[in-house]
Amino acid sequence: MGETSLPGTSILRLGDLALRRPSVVAVIVGDVEDAVNEAARQGADMLEVRLDLIPEEPLEALRRVRKLSRLPIIATNRIRREGGGFQDSEEERAELLIRASAHADLVDVELRSTILSLVRESVKKPLIISYHHFQSAPGREELSGIIREMQDRGADIAKIAATPPALEDCLAMLETLIAARIPTCMLGMGEVGRHLRIMAPCYGSVLTYGYITGQTAPGQMRVDELVEALRILALRQPF
């Protein structure tokens, strides 16, 4: 990255997939039809279907999302320690995520999960490798190492969500983002980190995530709030 000015709206290409950069991702939970329609109304660029937080059969729900929207779809299936709701075995989690990839444009799997290698080998879609720290935020050196590890393990996009206890930690996250050598999404959780959901795209974060029907992470903002903030910062232009 290493830009010396605000990056503005551009295109991130991952194979045949072209994404707005930065993209506002609407997290789809609950009733998918209502959520997808509201995501479109609020101006989302992408949809993340949380297979672990949908009350109906998840693959059927994902197929419905595919029919309802032309926006790029991220399939995600989180376990509890990663902030999710999936409670069955890791083998079943991997199987669901792999099957879901047929109806999605990208797949998100955690760096520290036992299923990363299997998903990476089985899925033929761009891969988001994610890391979550709900109690604090790693320092810059550790963050840089995490991104390098994600790159080594085949990430098309590196995604880090951490909970900075102080503004100095937010600065470390932004400095790491600027220095990243692969497309990176940097998200702040909690009250101190909340502003990074708007500010990190100024420093090159390729994605930022917002809610439609209710927060799925501490400090998350609503999609239309993110869209308006990025417009004010001239990071959102006609595309």
Phi-psi domain of 43 (left: phi exceeds 0; alpha: psi -120 through 50; beta: other) = left
What are the backbone dihedrals phi and psi of residue 49, each rounded to the nearest 5 degrees, phi first?
-90, 115
Could you tell me which residues come within 8 angstroms of residue 59 by beta carbon, excluding any fewer than 6 positions away?
51, 96, 99, 100, 103
Other Cβ atoms less than 10 A from the Cβ of 6: the count is 12
124 part of the active site: no
Which tokens sit at 211? 């809610």
125 part of the active site: no
The 8-class DSSP code of residue 86 comes to: B
Active-site residue (options: 67, 124, 125, 159): 159
Which tokens sit at 129? 């490798």
Which tokens sit at 125? 């879609």
Active-site residue (options: 125, 132, 133, 195): 132
CA 106 to chain centre: 10
Q: Return the active site residues.
A: 132, 159
